[in-house]
Amino acid sequence: MASDSGVDLDERGFIYVDDYCTTSVPGVYAIGDVVRGLMLAHKASEEGIMVVERIKGHKAQMNYNLIPSVIYTHPEIAWVGKTEQTLKAEGVEVNVGTFPFAASGRA
- 75 cis-preceded (ω within 30 degrees of 0): yes
Query: Which of 71, 3, 13 shows the shortest CA–CA distance to 39?
Result: 71
- Of 6, 9, 47, nearest in space to 26 by CA: 6
> pLDDT tens across 8-66, in order?
999 999 999 999 999 999 999 999 999 999 899 999 999 999 999 999 999 999 998 88
Confidence of residue 76 (pLDDT cuts 50, 70, 90): confident
Task: Assess whether pLDDT exceeds 70 at residue 2.
Answer: no
pTM of the predicted model, to two decimals?
A: 0.77
Q: Identify the CATH number of the domain defined by range 2-80.
A: 3.50.50.60
Helices (H), the chain: 2-5, 41-55, 84-89
